[in-house]
Amino acid sequence: MSETEKARVLFVDDERRILTTMRMLFRGDYQMFFANSANEAIEFLKRETVDVVVSDQRMPGMTGVDLLREAKDLRPEAMRILLTGYSDLNAIIGSINEGEIFRFVNKPWDNKELKATVAQAVEAARTTREAIQLSRSEGGSDEQAASNLPATLVLDEDPTVAPAIQQMLGNQYRVVAATTIEGAIEIMEREAVGVVITDTRVQNQSVVSLLSTLKEHNPELISMVVTARADAGMAIELINQGQIYRFITKPLRETQTKITVASAINQHRRMARHKQLSRRYQVQKPVEPKPENPPLANGLLNRIRSLRRLVTG
């Protein structure tokens, strides 16, 4: 493969030794570009296109989250990977909600896993570039979102949450509710659901396995987490293994809820129209499921696999 045919990857870190390590690790694989600060990276992205941006989080002047937010606006087709060596919950939530991160990679990283992650991001960027540009050109107005909407499923043990969200959203949105994982699957078996809003735990079980399985078999489904029990480790698992769209802490605010759900439904519709976009939201399979994230029982797993494909109006 010629140099011009190779994917273009931008690495950003304020530590030059890290950039040297990246140069050695990925030598020969890609066209590589390096920035020693977020501002330097932004100036580069204003001039050049890339397939993937790999950024450290903790940098002076501007964090990796802020950089990737800028990168999303400047080069929306590029995939974004965040390297983080510490657990800053606010930064992680910000990267989910504003930077739409493809993966978090913990420092120190495993070289084999990092190379596999970057390769997956490169493939996703290259196979979806045309689709994401077309999707952005289509936009998504409130009028479009209000016609023939798919259902929004709220999965929460607290039975008051779904009615509260319905009241915030108004009558143009249809909210359906479940207080158990099996109940949620039963709803999805009988009607089209575009968005799932869930707490991090249901029936004393993490929802990571549920969201990962749903995303794997129904990539158009958009998942949001609304919780009062936020922690950094869980948030990272939810993006890497569940590809959640937004992470919101309780108590819910009406304006934020309406804007976020409308955005999620539009995202669902874009995904349904442009099937290639699902490559940008592939979930990462854990090597070994953690005890707190047990895999779904075979019966539930088979029912999710047989769910009819979601459609939009």
CATH code, domain with 149: 3.40.50.2300
Contact 83, 64 (CB under 8 A): yes
Q: Do 203 and 241 belong together in one domain?
A: yes
With tokens 């707190």, the residue in question is 292
* Cα–Cα distance, 30 to 245 (Å, whole number): 29
Contacts of the segment 155-158: beta carbons below 8 A, 24+ positions apart: 155/179, 155/181, 155/183, 155/184, 155/196, 155/197, 155/198, 155/199, 155/202, 155/207, 156/197, 156/198, 156/199, 156/202, 156/226, 157/199, 157/202, 157/203, 158/199
Residue 197 lies in a domain: yes
Q: Which residue is listed with tokens 């140099």?
A: 3
Tens of pLDDT along the chain (313 residues)? 455 589 999 999 999 999 999 999 999 999 999 999 999 999 999 999 999 999 998 899 998 989 999 999 999 999 999 998 766 777 778 778 877 889 999 888 999 999 999 999 999 999 888 777 776 666 554 444 455 789 999 999 999 999 999 999 998 899 999 999 999 999 999 888 999 999 999 988 889 989 999 998 888 999 999 988 877 888 888 899 889 999 988 899 999 999 999 999 988 988 888 888 888 888 887 656 666 666 777 788 888 888 855 444 4
Q: What is the DSSP secondary structure assignment for residue 275, as one 8-state letter?
A: G
Instruction: Verify that 297 and 150 share a domain, yes or no.
Output: yes
Contacts of 90 (CB under 8 A, 6+ apart): none
Q: Do 176 and 294 reside in the same domain of the chain?
A: yes
Same domain, 239 and 120: no
Q: Find the domain containing 110 and state its range.
A: 8-138
> Which residues on adjacent β-strands are paired with residue 84?
106
Question: Which residue, of 120, 138, 156, is where some domain finishes?
Answer: 138
